[in-house]
Amino acid sequence: MRGAKICFFGINKLEWKLMNIIINGKSQQLTSAQNLSAIVNSFCKQPKHVITELNGAIVPSDQWAQTNLQDGDALELVTFVGGG
Amino acid sequence: MTDTPLVIAGKTFTSRFLLGTGKFKNKKDLSDSIAACGSEIVTVALRRIDLERHEENIIEYIPAHVTLLTNTSGARNAQEAVRIARLAKASGCGNWVKIEVINDSKYLLPDNQETVKATEILAAEGFVVLPYISPDLYTARALVKAGAATVMPLGSFIGSNQGLKTKEFIQVLINEIDLPIVVDAGIGAPSQAAEAMEMGADAVLVNTAVATAQNPAVIARAFALAVESGRLAYLSGLPLQQLMAKASSPLTGFLYDDIPAN
């Protein structure tokens, strides 16, 4: 979340608020608010057949663009691998 | 002799050989093996994406006509299996799921009770559920009631290549359960696959024995032929085993009337 903060002494100061989210169990810092579509495309080297679960709830791919991430969110990015 | 096709959840299959996709050295071996054995149902798993590495998308190596069967490997209880199945469905790659619940890291035996629970939930949600179990009649009956599409008993420990150590118990399921019986896990050689089919199993699923062979595509073909051969033998009305010897040639001496007595 990017926000402007007015300093107490009358000097305007821009403060860039970093956002922390947990992706696949690891803490990641985002410098700006991003929707799920942007996250999938920047973090997944192979975005096809990626399935997302945000705070325990599945987000279908047609809702990624409208889903904005919040500070503290936990995101799981999963996909298919070989298995018997 | 004409065979009736394998039907699972209303879908018809010509091949009775299911292939798992784990442990292949490379994706070319996998796609060559699928082509060589003609499997129409192929299992895959779901995992967290490794954000550091570029991994090839396994789905691209599976032909579009093949039914994807996502397993719930990694699930330790029914709840986790349900979560994995729902994630798989959200991919848009179908709603066929192999329930695999394992919470023992030494023997990797499936937890039958949790498997029944997961099957109840997922079948009610419209999934096509193929549960993997230790062969047990009561569990299999509970799975029928829960809405399973097949029952998949293990032949021996997963990945062990030991063959049909649970043969008699699988035979009970074949005799008593009115669902396709797919023998899964432990089948290490085409002869063992043929043996399962001769007993009257409806299909077999193999992964390790194909993926870890020196030439996976060749053994995949061998498995497909063995499954076909075993199926034909079953349909032929395989004669029963006998305790005593019975001559195959006429029971007379060569030149004389009687076989000389000792």
Mean pLDDT per block of 10 residues along chain B (262 residues) reads 89 97 95 97 94 84 96 96 96 94 94 98 98 98 98 95 95 96 97 97 97 97 98 88 77 72 64
Q: Judge: B20–A48 Cβ closer than 8 Å, yes or no.
A: no
Nearest Cα neighbor of B75 from B30, B39, B122 is B122
Q: Count of alpha carbons within 13 Å of A20, Cβ hemisphere only?
A: 4
* Residue A16, pLDDT score: 58
* Residue B155, pLDDT score: 96
A27 in contact with B at a CB cutoff of 8 Å?
no
* Residue A44, pLDDT score: 84
* Residue A11, pLDDT score: 46
* Residue B172, pLDDT score: 95
Has residue A5 got a pLDDT over 70? no
pLDDT higher for A34 or B186?
B186
Q: Judge: A46–B205 Cβ closer than 8 Å, yes or no.
A: no
Q: Judge: B21–A82 Cβ closer than 8 Å, yes or no.
A: yes
- DSSP conformational letter for A61: G
A77 in contact with B at a CB cutoff of 8 Å?
yes
Considering only residues 118 to 177 of chain B, which have any Cβ-Cβ distance to chain A shorter than 8 Å?
158-159
What is the spatial distance between Cα B121 and Cα A64, in angstroms, rounded to a whole number? 27
Q: Which residues pair with B154 in a beta bridge?
A: B184
Has residue A12 got a pLDDT over 70? no
A79 vs B contacts (CB less than 8 Å): 46-47, 49, 57, 91
Domains of chain B, first to last: 6-235 (3.20.20.70)
- DSSP conformational letter for A68: B
B64 in contact with A at a CB cutoff of 8 Å?
no
| Mean pLDDT, range A22-29, rounded to an integer | 92
Q: Provide the token pair at A9.
A: 């002494």
Query: pTM for the complete prediction?
Result: 0.86
pLDDT bracket for residue A7 (50, 70, 90): very low
Residues of B identified as active-site: 98
Nearest Cα neighbor of B118 from B103, B136, B100 is B100
* Residue A34, pLDDT score: 85
* Residue A18, pLDDT score: 79
* Residue B184, pLDDT score: 96
* Residue B16, pLDDT score: 98
Cα–Cα distances (Å) from B258 to B244, B247, B250, B261, B262, in that order, read 20, 14, 11, 8, 12
B55 in contact with A at a CB cutoff of 8 Å?
yes
Q: Judge: B48–A25 Cβ closer than 8 Å, yes or no.
A: yes
Q: Judge: A44–B49 Cβ closer than 8 Å, yes or no.
A: yes
* Residue B225, pLDDT score: 98
Contact B211, B22 (CB under 8 A): yes
* Residue B92, pLDDT score: 86
What is the spatial distance between Cα B216 and Cα B78, in angstroms, rounded to a whole number? 33
| Mean pLDDT, range A59-67, rounded to an integer | 93
Contact B111, B101 (CB under 8 A): yes
pLDDT bracket for residue A6 (50, 70, 90): very low
Written in H, E and C, the secondary structure of chain B is CCCCCEEECCEEECCCEEEECCCCCCHHHHHHHHHHHCCCEEEEEEEECCCCCCCCCHHHHCCCCCEEEEECCCECCHHHHHHHHHHHHHCCCCCEEEECEECCCCCCCECHHHHHHHHHHHHHCCCEEEEEECCCHHHHHHHHHHCCCCEEEECCCCCCCCCCCCHHHHHHHHHHCCCCEEEECCCCCHHHHHHHHHCCCCEEEECHHHHCCCCHHHHHHHHHHHHHHHHHHHHCCCCCCCCCCCCCCCCCCCCCCCCCCC
B49 vs A60, A61, A79: nearest CB: A79
A83 vs B22, B51, B54: nearest CB: B22
Domains of chain A, first to last: 3-78 (3.10.20.30)
Chain B nearest CA to A21, separation (Å):
14
